[in-house]
Structure 1
Amino acid sequence: MKKWGLYLSLLIFALILTACGEPYLSTLKPAGEVAERQFNLLLLSTGVMTLVIVVVVIIYVIVLIRFRRKKGEEDKIPEQVEGSHKLEIIWTIIPIILILILAVPTVAETFNLGDVSERDKVDKDGNRENLVINVRASLYWWEFEYPDQGIVTSQDLVVPTDEKIYFNLIASDVKHAFWIPAIGGKIDTNTDNENSFYLVFDGEKADEAGNIFYGKCAELCGPSHAYMDFKVKAVPRAEFDEWVVAMQNFEEPEPQTAVAQQGKEIFENSCIGCHAVSAENSMPAEARIAPNLADFGNRTRVAGILPYTKENIKEWIQNPGDIKPGNLMYDSANFSEEELDALAEYLMSLKAQE
Structure 2
Amino acid sequence: MMKRWQALKRLLPLLAMFSLLLSGCGREDLSVLNPQGPVAEGQLGLITISISIMALVVVVVFVIAAYVLIKFRRKPGQNEVPVQVEGNHKLEIIWTAIPLLLVIVLAVPTIQKVFAYGEDKWNEEGVLQVEVTGHQFWWEFSYPQYDITTAQELLMPVDREVALRLRTADVLHSFWVPSLAGKTDTNPDGSINHMSLSTGNPGTYIGKCAELCGQSHGYMEFRVKAVEAEQFDAWVEAFKAPAVLPEDSQLAEKFRTNCLSCHAVGDQGGFLGPNLTGIGSRETIAGILLNDINGAKGSSPVKDNLVQWLSEPQEVKPGNTMPDPKELGFSDEEIEQIADYLANYKLDY
Determine if the TM-score, normalized by the shorter chain, exceeds 0.5.
Answer: yes
- What's the counterpart of residue 21 of structure 1? 27
Query: Are 2:244 and 2:266, in contact at CA under 8 Å, matched by a contact in 1?
Result: no
1:111 aligned to 107, 110, 115, which one? 115
Alignment partner for residue 105 of structure 2, among 92, 101, 105? 101
Q: Which runs of 5+ in 2 are unaligned?
A: 1-6, 292-300
Q: Quick one: which of 333, 336, 343 aligns to 1:341? A: 336
Map residues 1-354 of structure 1 onto 2, 5 A cutoff. Answer: 1=7, 4-5=11-12, 7-10=14-17, 12-13=19-20, 16-17=23-24, 20-22=26-28, 24-73=29-78, 75-116=79-120, 118-122=121-125, 129-191=126-188, 192-203=190-201, 206=202, 211-248=203-240, 250-253=241-244, 255=246, 263-278=251-266, 288-308=271-291, 309=301, 310-334=303-327, 335-353=330-348
Query: What letter matches 1:201 in structure 2?
Result: T
Distance 1:81 1:351 in 2: 77
Amino acid at match of 1:149: Y
1:164-192 CA-to-partner distances (Å, cap 9, x unmatched) read 11000110011111111110101001231
Q: Normalising by structure 2, report the TM-score.
A: 0.88
Rounded Cα–Cα distance in structure 2 between residues aligned with 1:76 and 1:7: 45
- Structure 1 outlier segments of 4+, above 4 Å: none
Conserved? CA contact 1:135–1:168, under 8 Å: yes
**How far apart, in 2, do the equivalents of 1:11 and 1:43 lie?**
25
Matched to 1:159, the amino acid is M
Q: 1:62-101 CA distances to partner (integer Å, 9 max, x unpaired)?
A: 111111111121x132221111111101101101110011
Deviation of 1:252 after TM superposition, in Å, equals 1.9
Match of 2:298 in 1: none
Q: Write out per-residue CA displacement over residues 259-311 of structure 1, whole angstroms, 9 at most, x where no aligned residue.
A: xx66434312321111111268xx9xxx6210010111111211010023222
- Deviation string 1:150-176 (CA, Å, 9 cap, x unpaired) is 111111110011221100011001111
User: Is the Cα–Cα contact under 8 Å of residues 245 and 252 in structure 2 kept in the other structure?
Assistant: no
Output the CA distance in 2 between the equivalents of 1:105 and 1:234: 28
CA distance in 2 between counterparts of 1:10 and 1:299 reads 38
Q: Paired residues, what number?
A: 329
Pair 1:59–1:7, CA change in 2 (3 A) = farther
Is contact 1:266-1:339 (8 Å) kept?
A: no
TM-score, normalising length: structure 1: 0.87
| Alpha-carbon separation, structure 1, partners of 2:10 and 2:259 | 58
Deviation at 1:7, TM superposition (A): 4.6
User: Cα 1:11–1:86, aligned 2, differ >3 Å: closer, same or farther?
Assistant: farther
Task: Say whether the 8 Å CA contact 1:216–1:229 is kept in structure 2.
Answer: yes
Q: Which amino acid aligns with 2:281?
A: N
Q: What is the percentage of aligned positions where both structures have the same residue?
A: 42
Classify 1:329/1:15 alpha carbon distance in 2 versus 1 (closer, same or farther; 3 Å).
Answer: closer
TM-superposed CA distance for 1:6, in Å, is: 5.8
Secondary structure at the aligned position of 1:294 is classed as coil
- The Cα of 1:345 is off from its aligned counterpart by 1.0
Describe the superposition over 1:302-322 as per-residue Cα deviations: whole angstroms up to 9, x where unpaired: 101002322221111111111
- In the other structure, the counterpart of 1:126 is none
Q: Following the alignment from structure 1 to structure 2, what is the Cα–Cα distance between the partners of residues 142 and 149?
A: 18
CA distance in 2, matches of 1:111, 1:307: 36
1:114–1:147 CA distance, 2 compared to 1 (3 A): same
Gaps of 5+ in 1: 123-128
